[in-house]
Structure 1
């Protein structure tokens, strides 16, 4: 029996894999930039953004390969996917080693912002609005000061007239917990992308192999037989 290499299963397998990679990369990209940026790590933010951009690029290349069923571009996809896996592996190793350090830097940054605040320029207000917290330990950080009053950013919808609107939790607890959650999302989405990239390599390899076999078979059938 002649051996056959069906194209359709590998075509749709690669397409679905690339769609899943793009979905995971949305979390990886956004959470990575936020985590590194919150800890004032410019190189980390750029590294996360570059890795995310490379993942998007390779994923869209994979979609093109799947839709066009191209043997040539499947080879390109295998090469670039291998490079992306290597880059993500390096990123994951670095991020794992520095994750707790980033959390510590973020907390130090918030305390520094709180100490530098003035009545006319409260540098903690963006943190309050973003994470839904107030002060470092809580609203008492403002109220215990001389002539202390809560900034509008410490309240839901900037309305401090109702006690229920006041954010009771301090930013050293809530903001750090929120950032830690984003760091976890960045970590696990990176692992998921690496696993999916390997699956993409597998499906792209077999898709290219099936496409090459189909082209070879057509050429063989069109070759005239000499007596």
Structure 2
């Protein structure tokens, strides 16, 4: 009972922390890839994806450590957790420095795509579908230039036969606002993960210490006394 009591609080603390990390990482991973990808930064997208995969891996390692109650694997978790914190810290620094530039790149990219669109090849369609907007300033951009024809991507479920399905807001406002929100989610979820990783290291350290102490105590109790 003493062994279970000494380990259990740290065990379930680590397990709960890892579950919270996985939850935050869903937002970090998805919003990070969308933010960097929208600004046409492959290296940024790959960095966000790599950090996200690493966080998932270390979180699942932490869950395994907590369920197995292993001192040896808790050491592995401490090492991997420290590396992930360093990687996330570097990512956060770069992302904070480039955040304004990414928004500018995205707006410039949208204007270029809109200028290059043709009746048969509308390069704005992925932007319409992803952010639920139409044209740069609204559907009037197409109604004015395309003689009343709207691309299907300007409508919910690609159905423009119903006027209520048409996206009324232009991408110059809605898409940029949406991307800023995703950038904010990426930033704050990264901060949350770093904080939770420190908490995970704390609980893993004391769980491993409690486990080692319990094993040592059992060995001492089994060792015969010499008179």
Query: C-alpha deviations, 1:81-126, integer Å up to 9, x for none?
Result: 0111011011011111111111111111111111111111111112
Question: Secondary structure, in 3 states, of the residue corresponding to 1:197?
Answer: helix
C-alpha deviation, 1:148, in angstroms? 5.1
Structure 1: tracts of 5 or more residues without a match: none
Structure 1 segment 15-30 matched on structure 2, within 5 A: 15-30=15-30
Counterpart in the other structure of 1:41: 41
Counterpart in the other structure of 1:186: 186
Q: TM-score, normalised by structure 1?
A: 0.95
- Alpha-carbon contact 1:13-1:203 (below 8 Å) kept: yes
Counterpart in the other structure of 2:126: 126
RMSD of equivalent CA atoms: 1.6
Counterpart in the other structure of 1:71: 71
Question: Residues 19 and 210 (structure 1 numbering): CA distance in 2 closer, same or farther, change over 3 Å?
Answer: same
Q: Are residue 149 (structure 1) and residue 172 (structure 2) matched?
A: no
C-alpha deviation, 1:146, in angstroms? 6.0
The 10-residue stretch of structure 1 (149-158 or 12-21) with the greater mean CA deviation from structure 2: 149-158
- Structure 2 distance, partners of 1:76, 1:164, is 55
Question: Residues 146 and 72 (structure 1 numbering): CA distance in 2 closer, same or farther, change over 3 Å?
Answer: closer
Q: TM-score, normalised by structure 2?
A: 0.95
C-alpha deviation, 1:130, in angstroms? 1.8
Structure 2: tracts of 5 or more residues without a match: none
The 10-residue stretch of structure 1 (4-13 or 197-206) with the greater mean CA deviation from structure 2: 4-13
How many residue pairs get aligned? The number is 225
- Alpha-carbon contact 1:5-1:210 (below 8 Å) kept: no
Structure 1 segment 64-213 matched on structure 2, within 5 A: 64-145=64-145, 147=147, 149-213=149-213
C-alpha deviation, 1:156, in angstroms? 2.4
Q: Segments of 4+ in structure 1 off by > 6 A?
A: none
